[in-house]
Structure 1
Amino acid sequence: MRKSPLRQPRRLITGLLLPLAMLAASSSVMAQSTPSSYRVVGYANGWNPVQTKDVGKIDTLIFAFAHPQDGKVTIAQQDVKHLQDLIALKKINPKLKVDISVGGWSVGGFSEAASTEAGREQFADSAAQLIAAQHADGLDVDWEYPGHHESGIKSSPQDKINYTLLLKAIRASLDRVGAAHGRTGTNHYTLSVAIADGPFVDNVDIAAINPYLDWFNLMTYDFVNAMTPTTGHHTGLHASKLIAGDGRTTDRAVQQFLAAGVAPKKLLIGAAIYGREFADVKPDHDGLYQTFGHYQGGHNWPELKADFINKHGYVRYWDADAQAPWLWNAQTRRFITYDDPQSIAAKMAYIKAQHLGGIMYWEQSADPSDELVDDMWKGLND
């Protein structure tokens, strides 16, 4: 799949294998299992063996991605090993759940499959059978986005109704197949969605899909990107003084879903373990919420620390209103927006204050030292 200006870091994944030798660390890792009611959920493709020491801090890993193919949910053969690497981590942390996400940016086939009852049933049944066959724990639907075609996928005015009907069909299939495999009650196959906010859910009936879902993974990142008119905080918690109108923020996303009747505990806000860089930026306000010449690219957390934060002319600034950092290089007129330990701490405090379900992040391999994941865990358990 092609890289996306909106979701490019989702393609910066290396599927690394888990050596069996790492399983010996099980006793020490299990002692870290999250004791609180807040959850840490992370998207992953493969698994970096050096991160095994912290697997007890993660409640659910979501494998990315399965894909719709000829109306069915499938995983490419070369990706099955990566999924099984994640599932093998249950030998270290038996409480760990591993779900499968279907979709991703620029991945189509949803609108077509959801358009008929037969198509929905085929999609739903194949998804449930895949979950059972791979010994996974649930499905995450990442349709970006119903009624929208910015990513190059097909869409339809009927997507709003059909999205609800598709999730209803998936819920029924998961329950039916789950019952046949002893997955009922609190151990049932779960169903979640990766979902945006603001105008990107104008073709989603949030209240209607709510009953079918165990939780919502709010993609509260990529608020600014190659397709937006200005720079800004791509994963800001609150509104900056410089934000225009109803510009997207994490808090505004949460309030949108709460207003639709979603229980706070079903909402997991998103954190970004990567930054976005813009070039030829207008220098006013140190580049914050200014027009730019072109989008430069993404940088994962280790790269930000090694080469950018207060280095090579990039100066770190903090927006107290947005509770978010940014970098500005006055000489090159480059701007970078990202999450760091301070903004992660603010998000964890917000989760507690709003009584939300926890935190979700993209993406596991972008934080090989588990520094930010550790900050999430600590922030929810202090």
Structure 2
Amino acid sequence: MSKPVLLAYVASNRLSDVQVIPAEKLTHLCLAFAQVVDGEVVFAEHEPGDAAHREAICRALPALKTRNPGLQTLLSIGGWSADGFSDAALTAASRARFARSAVEFMHARGFDGIDMDWEYPSNDMASIKARPEDRQNFTLMLRELRRELTALAAREQRNAPYLLTAAVGVEQFYLDGVEMAAVAAELDLVNMMTYDLYNGWAVKAGHHSPLYASRRDPQGWSATDGIELFVRAGVPVEKMVLGGAFYGRGLHGVANVDGGHGQPGTPKSNTSHSYTSIVNELIPSGRYTRYWDADAKAPWLFDGEHYISYDDPESLAWKCRYARARGLAGVFFWELMEDATGELLDTLVKGMAGQG
């Protein structure tokens, strides 16, 4: 039996020293993000020095394999509000150009595959270009990528194929914009973004990364809801990777009723907190009470008006138990630099080894 997947996303703009990555504890590492500009894959220059910084990280990544020869590294393309996908996917010629560019870019920097993070096909919620044709074109784009990756592996007589994965939204809106069964057929792993279910513009306090549905929130969504929805859409469970959050989502102005959960908050007062700050600053401050939802297997903090939903060792241990019992490929998380304590990753390592 193959080792369960334990995949980390690493935000390159937050990473200063590649050697801090705990390569021995991971099976896969996705470096985020490259972008699509004028139909081709590049490291975009959001701020001066961005591209050079990412190139330096790429040069240093192979050293991690001296510590873990089995580590698979992937180049993640896209991310929230990353544009360029719809145009790149539009025609056979543009798809071929994109696929050649992506594979050449990946190969030149020593990666073992490509992770696609188009948020989202056929949907402009992130203020990117979207077309109804994205639904079919995303399938065709992935098919062209797969063809290029297979051809490269054959030319090199590579022992293992190059990987193709994707990060996907886990609600019906995502399925409405893609041909999910056909998409899954082209992918090695489907990274289920089972977090941000109450997101950065939520106006009610709720779990952003719950494993199960909660009686506290009958209309809420959960990781298991998303998994079963995608099973019905034709995605094999053995390709699914369950997502965990190394950060919390907060909301101010929440009524002090029942620990704040399910209560309305102040619109546009949303906050985000790294797990590092949650355990090193917020909890030690003494202002917050930790609550536990036994239905959802999810914690939250509340100080009387500020509500914060997050993952912790207890919730992640439950996610590992579920992933193993349901036969998923494994687990992943966003994002490594959000937890300087290392305890969340250690929880996942133990959990996927059946020790948690």
Q: Provide TM-score, normalisation by structure 1.
A: 0.86
CA distance in 2, matches of 1:339, 1:88: 31
Corresponding position of 1:66 = 34
* 1:180 alignment partner AA: R
Change (3 A) 1:273 1:172: same
Is 1:216 the counterpart of 2:190? The answer is: yes
CA distance in 2, matches of 1:173, 1:285: 54
Corresponding position of 1:173 = 148
Contact 1:345 1:379 in 2 (8 A): yes
SS at 2:24 equivalent = helix
Corresponding position of 2:48 = none
Count of aligned residue pairs for this structure pair: 342
Q: Provide TM-score, normalisation by structure 2.
A: 0.92
TM-superposed deviation, 1:281: 1.0
CA distance in 2, matches of 1:296, 1:210: 33
TM-superposed deviation, 1:278: 0.7
* 2:74 alignment partner AA: D
CA distance in 2, matches of 1:290, 1:88: 49
CA distance in 2, matches of 1:118, 1:152: 25
1:7-22 matches, within 5 Å, as none
Corresponding position of 2:335 = 363
Could you list the structure 1 runs, at least 4 aligned residues long, displaced by more than 3 angstroms after superposition.
46-52
Residues 286-330 of structure 1 deviation map (CA, whole Å, 9 limit, x = unaligned)? 111221103332111111001222633210000000000000111
Change (3 A) 1:236 1:310: farther
Residues 233-277 of structure 1 deviation map (CA, whole Å, 9 limit, x = unaligned)? 1011011112243x3210011111111222222100100101111
Corresponding position of 1:75 = 43
**Candidates 59, 62, 71, aligned match of 1:87:** 62
Contact 1:59 1:97 in 2 (8 A): yes
Contact 2:122 2:130 in 1 (8 A): yes
Question: Can you give the 5+ residue segments of structure 2 that lack an aligned partner in the other structure?
Answer: 45-50
Contact 2:180 2:233 in 1 (8 A): yes
CA distance in 2, matches of 1:284, 1:199: 31
Is 1:352 the counterpart of 2:324? The answer is: yes
Is 1:338 the counterpart of 2:306? The answer is: no
Is 1:291 the counterpart of 2:259? The answer is: no
Contact 2:202 2:270 in 1 (8 A): no
Is 1:265 the counterpart of 2:238? The answer is: yes
Is 1:281 the counterpart of 2:254? The answer is: yes
Corresponding position of 1:7 = none
Corresponding position of 1:38 = 4
**Candidates 330, 339, 345, aligned match of 1:373:** 345
Corresponding position of 2:168 = 195
TM-superposed deviation, 1:352: 1.1
Contact 1:225 1:295 in 2 (8 A): no
Contact 1:48 1:365 in 2 (8 A): no
Contact 1:218 1:268 in 2 (8 A): yes
Contact 1:63 1:98 in 2 (8 A): yes
* 2:3 alignment partner AA: S
Corresponding position of 1:321 = 295
CA distance in 1, matches of 2:290, 2:164: 39
Corresponding position of 1:13 = none
1:91-130 matches, within 5 Å, as 91-130=66-105
Contact 1:111 1:159 in 2 (8 A): yes
